[in-house]
Amino acid sequence: MRDFKGKIVFVSGGASGAGLGQAKVFGREGMKVAIGDVRQDALDNAVKELIAFGIPEKDILAIKVDLTDRADYTRCADKIEEVFGGPPHLLIQTAGVNSFGPIEASTFDDFDWVMGVCLNHVVNGLLIFVPRMIKAYAHKTEFWVATTSSMGAFMSGSGTGPYSAAKAAVNNLMYSYDEALRPYGSGATVLCPGNINSNIGNAEKFRPANLKNTGYRVNDKTMASLRAIHATGIDPVELGEILKEAIENERVICLPDHNPDGRAAQLRGLNETIENYTLTRAQRDEIAAKRRAEMMKAMEEARKSGKEPPMPMWATPEDAEPFGKARDDLDWIDPSKKLQKK
């Protein structure tokens, strides 16, 4: 898909972070922009940002919607057609949440919340929008489907179990949809970023009341840690531009690197991680120890040369505490996976 001007884009989770960055990028290309989010205040602020970015107010539609509610999501799709005259030519599903903690501490609510937003909302959107898009645009004009996934889709994470599982499923769905949509003159792209300068660190604040029972240690201080990490992430508009290039060139997987050699290196590293699962535990431990030694050597050389070593991802503000820990009252969890009291 290369011709965006005058067409319609819908971005789920478009009121902030990566979704808002995508709305800005494709709106700047002359698309009519519909954004969906569950937070009305965020939608109101996003509309102001889009207008300030240069997108005409008449080309912006903000819809408050619960993306996990199929009836509500269908209402959202109907609204887009009512206002803009048809379904989106470009569907980008970006809404996501995350919470961190040992997978063995996870509750049903942890899985239902994270997978409900990160996976089920994608399924809902595909089943609601794709038939409409095919009927309206197949062999008539360009249209495309995209979803924001994560680097976590390619790797396991004992502290991000529900999230990594959801994102792995999202990737596989998009591979399937790319193949399925080819006969209609379309395709699919899955964006797999790492760290994004977004508000996802605050996601726990918006967890539904009926899904609040978590096995993880979650409070304002753990969210402060996450905010500090995400503040160092890629700019959402830059990430949106990378996605645009991938869609224009019909890439199925979009990695957050402008450099083709960089993308290839990222995939090689990810594939190596998966390949290592075929090895024995002793072999995997040996590889992990070698990597740790190489990292420590690089940091020591950086110190000796007078250069600052890279800031570790676990560095946090003074008013924060480590995230990714289990609740203290869970009696089956290894003590090392709980907050260590000083």
**Over the chain (342 residues), what is each successive 10-residue block's mean pLDDT?**
97 96 98 97 98 98 97 98 98 95 97 97 98 98 97 88 96 98 98 89 91 95 87 92 97 84 78 89 93 85 68 56 92 92 58
- Supply the pTM of this predicted model: 0.90
Amino acid at 72: D
How far apart, in whole angstroms, are the C-alpha atoms of residue 69 and residue 310? 43
pLDDT value, residue 320:
76
First to last CA, the chain: 56
Residues forming the active site: 163
Identify the CATH assignment for 8-271 out of 3.40.50.1820, 3.40.640.10, 2.30.110.20, 3.40.50.720. Answer: 3.40.50.720
Could you state, in order of their start, the residue ranges of all structural domains in the chain? 8-271
Give CA torsion, residues 95, 241, 255, 222, to 10 deg.
-40
